[in-house]
Amino acid sequence: MEPNMMDFYYDMFLTDFGWVGTLASQRGLARLVMTATLQEVLDELGTDVVAAQYRPNNLESVRHRLEDYFRGADHSLEDIPLDTDDAPLFFKAAWEACRTIPRGETRSYAWLANAASRPRAFRAAGQAMARNPLPIVIPCHRVIGSHGGLHGYSGGLDRKARLLGLERRSHEGES
């Protein structure tokens, strides 16, 4: 049974990393997109945003936390409730494992597969990251190749490196 999109709401806002669009239900955040332009946010959210209600007040806390994150503040995003009910079980397990990677650190796809209780499923872990509907909140940019190289990121490897650099600088500033 497909959820009624009128039960969903969205917000769009500009950050230091570009435009962000968020879509949520009563259960939690369902999608997050980061793009260069407002039109690209609308395009990436697609028909979901057409059927949802524009209610920035419902997402105000998420918006402030993301704005702070993009400014380098070390606020936790792990406790933001998510709506990933329609995802395959392994993807959900991989996404939850990914949320445990500390800010400013990285882990390999093999580590992620093991943490999701399927040690030999590192390719499936890669697919879970590729289909991540909530970048930043599910910090797939923290997942790297076994030899330490940056691999695959929907926002591009430059953005992945920039996010890791932002986190490392803010993490080092705490020490």
Paired tokens of 130: 């590729």
Q: Is 140 a catalytic residue?
A: yes
CB 5 within 8 A of CB 52: yes
Measure the CA–CA gap between 6 and 61, rounded to whole angstroms.
Answer: 21
Task: Say which DSSP state 87 is in.
Answer: S
- Residues contacting residue 29 through CB under 8 Å, at least 6 positions apart: 22, 23, 59, 62, 80, 81, 82, 83, 134, 137
Conformation bin of residue 114: beta by default, left when phi > 0, alpha when psi is -120 to 50: alpha
CB 136 within 8 A of CB 69: yes
Measure the CA–CA gap between 125 and 119, rounded to whole angstroms.
Answer: 10
Cα-to-chain-centroid distance, residue 116: 17
Of 33, 140, 163, 164, which is the active-site residue?
A: 140
Task: Tell me which residues are annotated as active site.
Answer: 140
